[in-house]
């Protein structure tokens, strides 16, 4: 799981490896991240999630070995 | 043309990329770095970009503009890294047969970029910094 921008700064690191059981869905990985890094927990409900170059839903499966990007509310422009 | 740019961003590159003899209108938006927010002095911005996701979003925006507005050409360029006050952070150009479609599509492009593209800005102040989320 990869962190970006403000989340990365708050966590003090750019990635986490979490245990979320066999064939987890995005929400299970999100909840595992909240347990592994409680400082991020309040921010996670507002985040979106992406695998490769596309957003994925909270109930989508996370492909084996894939990096899940945690995407906090964006602020480009 | 969809690009994440390191170093100076030339809005002319976006205009040049959408030139099309079938079009009578090119609309452009150029975003620049403001030197203050809510009365607080801003020294510079630092942009972080999740590039594969951001570029895929630019392409989705382009496809949506073609489908909804019938535009012929779309260019979206965005900076990464440090941008000084007054510097160009984003440039969008849209070419269409007529002005109404070009203007509407250009406005839609920047709104969608600000809502969905995986880009974040850090505002640096004289006494600290802050990552903006959702603005």
> For position B17, which CATH number holds?
3.90.1170.40
Strand partners, B25: B96
Measured between beta carbons, the chain A residues lying within 8 angstroms of B31 are: 77
Q: Does B120 touch chain A (CB under 8 A)?
A: yes
Identify whether the C-beta of residue B76 lies closer than 8 Å to the C-beta of residue B113.
Answer: yes
Rg over alpha carbons for chain B, rounded to the nearest Å, is: 15
Q: How many domains does chain B have?
A: 1
Reported as a single tens digit per residue, the pLDDT across B77-92 is 999 999 999 999 999 9
Domains along chain A with CATH numbers: 5-71 (3.10.20.30)
Chain B residues with beta carbon closer than 8 angstroms to that of A5: 48, 120, 122, 131, 133
With 0-12 CB in 10 A as exposed, 13-18 as middle and 19+ as buried, what is B101? buried
Rounded-to-10 torsion of CA A48, B134, B77, B125? -130
**Which residues of chain A neighbour B123 with C-beta distances below 8 Å?**
none
Q: Walk along chain B (135 residues) and give the pLDDT tens digit of each residue.
A: 999 999 999 999 999 999 999 999 999 999 999 999 999 999 999 999 999 999 999 999 999 999 999 999 999 999 999 999 999 999 999 999 999 999 999 999 999 999 999 999 999 999 999 999 987
Complex ipTM, two decimals?
A: 0.92
Instruction: Please tell me the predicted confidence (pLDDT) of residue A7.
Output: 96
Cα dihedral A30, A31, A36, A41 sign: positive
Question: Looking at the complex, does the CB of residue B90 fall below 8 Å from at least one CB of chain A?
Answer: yes
What percent of chain B has a predicted confidence (pLDDT) above 70? 99
Q: Beta-carbon neighbour count of residue A74 at 10 Å?
A: 27
B-chain residues near A75 (CB < 8 A): 114, 119-121, 131-135
Interface membership of A73 toward B (CB under 8 Å) = yes
Round to whole Å and give the CA distance between B61 and B110: 9
Domain that residue B90 falls in: 2-127
CA angle at A6 for the pair B62 and B60, rounded to the nearest 5°? 10
Name the residue among B28, B76, B11 with its Cα closest to residue B49: B76
Q: Is the pTM of this model over 0.90?
A: yes
Are residues B47 and A9, on separate chains, in Cβ contact within 8 Å? no
Interstrand relation of B2-6 and B119-125 (parallel, antiparallel or unpaired): unpaired
Integer Cα distance of A24 and A40 in angstroms: 20
Is B113 domain-assigned? yes
Low-confidence ranges of chain A (pLDDT < 50): none
């Amino acid at each position: 799981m990869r962190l970006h921008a403000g989340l990365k700064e708050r966590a003090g690191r750019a990635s986490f490896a979490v245990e979320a059981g066999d064939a987890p869905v995005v929400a299970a990985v999100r909840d595992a991240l909240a347990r592994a890094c409680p400082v991020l927990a309040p921010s996670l409900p507002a985040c979106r999630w992406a695998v490769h170059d596309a957003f994925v839903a909270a109930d989508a499966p996370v492909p084996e070995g894939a990096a899940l990007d945690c995407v906090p509310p964006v602020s480009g422009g | 043309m969809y690009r994440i740019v390191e170093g100076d961003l030339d809005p002319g590159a976006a205009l040049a990329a959408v030139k099309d003899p079938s079009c009578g209108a090119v609309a452009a938006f150029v975003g620049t770095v403001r030197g203050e927010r809510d009365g607080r002095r801003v020294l510079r911005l630092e942009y972080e970009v999740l590039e594969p996701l951001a570029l895929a979003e630019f392409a989705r925006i382009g496809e949506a503009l073609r489908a909804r507005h019938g535009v012929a050409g779309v260019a979206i360029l965005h900076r990464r890294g440090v941008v000084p006050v007054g510097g160009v952070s984003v440039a969008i150009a849209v070419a269409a047969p007529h002005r109404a479609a070009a203007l509407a599509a250009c406005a839609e492009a920047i709104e969608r970029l600000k809502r969905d593209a995986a880009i974040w800005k850090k505002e640096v102040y004289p006494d600290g910094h802050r990552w903006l989320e959702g603005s």
